[in-house]
Amino acid sequence: MTNESIKQRDLDIIWHPCTQMKDHEFLPMIPIKKGYGVYLEDFDGNKYIDAISSWWVNIFGHTNPYINEKIKDQLDTLEHVIMAGFTQEPIVRLSERLVEMTPEGLDKCFYADNGSSAVEIALKMSYHYNRNIGKEKPIFLSLKNSYHGETMGALAVGDVEIYKETYGPLLLESIQTMVPKDQSIAAADEAALELEKILIERAHEISAFIVEPLIQGAGSMHMYDPHYLKRARELCDKYDIHLIADEIMVGFGRTGTMFAVEQADITPDYLCLSKALTGGYLPLSVVLTTNKIYGAFYCDYSQQKSFLDSHSYTGNALACAAANATLDIFENDNIIEENEKKSAYMLKKLDRFRSLKNVGNIRQCGMISALDLQGYDSSERIGLKVYQYALKNGVLLRPLGPVIYFMSPYTITYEEIDKMMDVAYEAIMTL
Ligand SMILES: *Cc1c(COP(=O)(O)O)cnc(C)c1O
């Protein structure tokens, strides 16, 4: 088998996500044969450093021996069981650990099998909570430039131009408020002021405010200061609306702390987790919430206040085993501390880009670094050129338009960081 033969079979029958399929008339499809550490290897033997953690999910490398072993153990014990009326040990253990490691006050875990579903759950739960206590609050508030997934409810609270244009008529009503324009405290205060203006007028009809804490991922890796989250928490309390922290991308160490909200020292009413939860192995998501919210659904069956949400693969036992193995690695290997050193090293490496005239807005938060290519027309598809150059040179970068970012598994070595960033530098030099 070669890249070419598999590529042909693929293009005959598979419709890929987030892809204009016609692009594959000139862009190669890359069939991956195997993965190990930060590397992906194709059928022709080419190796690529996975600088985007395979869509932001992988943190401890591909085919990590420890996670592999734990999944294999689970595989011979129990692969899956219905989560209504039944339970299993891996999910109980995982839930105990999540409650223990997340901010004080998050005491209940509700599971699903992907990030968008976790967002849907938080939105529905917040609306339903209000309904159960006799309030009708059908509107959600979110940040401009936000991304929360691609199912209908998640799309409705997101603010990505192309989705809004295309699916707008199908989406429920939501309001967007200003996101802090940069990582300064002044920008955080300015945006908090705007938030309060909206809440003064409309809090009575808003169930919840949903945010991506510290980094808006799909929104071009836009970063802001934890001070904004502190202010948002205060304002949500003052105007009596829920705060949903969508940590689907930033959770599990991406921002430098285990969870981004820790940097603001706040507890959200809902914490949505997925992506790195299983180390990037298997689909799983969870919404953590408070006993107070749980309590508003807890009553005699006849009162019909139960929460209504279920998915066939909710809380899959293999995925929970992968998640437990992932948490083991955090506990055993001093990951957050090691990451601090790698993050500082990457920041230093970013210096080299500062002298380039076509590069601006160089930024970093924890294990994510990003920069903008400036002065290009969007029709030039400048990010695509960087993507192609990097692939030819053994690095999988996947720019968001003109924004180049580095978000590798944490297991990347210093030499591999050099290679990843040097190839990006060369790619920009050849533009
Ligand atoms: C990826 C992502 C989602 C959606 O998760 P899926 O598993 O892709 O549905 C939601 N919110 C944020 C912030 C994300 O990065």
Residues 268-279 have pLDDT tens digits of: 999 999 999 999
Q: Do 420 and 405 have their domain in common?
A: yes
Tell me, what's the pLDDT at 20? 95
Q: Do 317 and 352 have their domain in common?
A: no
Band of the pLDDT at 387, cuts 50, 70, 90? very high
Q: Do 242 and 120 have their domain in common?
A: yes
- Domain stops at, among 332, 357, 384: 332
Tell me, what CATH number does 124's domain have? 3.40.640.10
Q: Do 158 and 300 have their domain in common?
A: yes
Q: Do 57 and 104 have their domain in common?
A: no
Has residue 303 got a pLDDT over 90?
no
Q: Do 306 and 401 have their domain in common?
A: no
Whether 287 contacts 309, CB under 8 Å: no
Query: Given ligand 1 and candidates 123, 146, 148, which is best to mutate, with the most ligand atoms within 8 Å of its CB?
Result: 148
Q: Do 164 and 193 have their domain in common?
A: yes
Query: Given ligand 1 and candidates 247, 248, 271, 405, which is best to mutate, with the most ligand atoms within 8 Å of its CB?
Result: 248
- Domain stops at, among 303, 332, 361: 332
Rounded to whole angstroms, the Cα distance separating 94 from 422 reads 39
Whether 428 contacts 353, CB under 8 Å: yes
Q: Do 81 and 188 have their domain in common?
A: yes
Phi and psi based region of residue 280 (left: phi greater than 0; alpha: psi -120 to 50; beta: remaining): left
259-278 core/surface letters (b: 16 or more CB in 10 A; e: else): bbbbbbebbbbbbbbbbbbb
Strand order in the sheet with 39-42: 32-36, 39-42, 47-50, 395-396
Average pLDDT over the chain reads 97
SS3 185: helix
- Within 274-416, strands assigned E span 285-289, 359-365, 368-373, 395-396, 403-406
Residues 234-267 have pLDDT tens digits of: 999 999 999 999 999 999 999 999 999 999 999 9
Q: Do 238 and 368 have their domain in common?
A: no
Has residue 108 got a pLDDT over 90?
yes
Q: Do 130 and 14 have their domain in common?
A: no
Nearest CA to ligand 1 atom 6: 115
Query: Given ligand 1 and candidates 114, 157, 255, 274, which is best to mutate, with the most ligand atoms within 8 Å of its CB?
Result: 274
Q: Do 196 and 110 have their domain in common?
A: yes
Ligand 1 centre to CA of 214 (Å) is 15
- Domain stops at, among 287, 316, 332: 332
Query: Given ligand 1 and candidates 121, 146, 147, which is best to mutate, with the most ligand atoms within 8 Å of its CB?
Result: 147
Ligand 1 centre to CA of 215 (Å) is 13
Band of the pLDDT at 414, cuts 50, 70, 90? very high
Nearest CA to ligand 1 atom 3: 149
Rounded to whole angstroms, the Cα distance separating 361 from 222 reads 10
- The residues lining ligand 1, judged by C-beta closer than 6 Å to any ligand atom, are 114-116, 119, 147-149, 212, 217, 246, 248-249, 274
Q: Which domain holds residue 328?
A: 68-332
Has residue 304 got a pLDDT over 90?
no
Residues 119-155 have pLDDT tens digits of: 999 999 999 999 999 999 999 999 999 999 999 999 9
Q: Across the chain, which distance is largest between two alpha carbons, in Å?
A: 68
Across residues 218-237, what is the average pLDDT?
Answer: 98
Ligand 1 centre to CA of 5 (Å) is 32
Tell me, what's the pLDDT at 302? 87
Q: Do 386 and 422 have their domain in common?
A: yes
Residues 38-73 have pLDDT tens digits of: 999 999 999 999 999 999 999 999 999 999 999 999
Please give the number of the atom of ligand 1 that sits closest to the Cα of 283.
Answer: 7
Number of folded domains that form the chain = 2
Tell me, what CATH number does 387's domain have? 3.90.1150.10
Please give the number of the atom of ligand 1 that sits closest to the Cα of 154.
Answer: 10
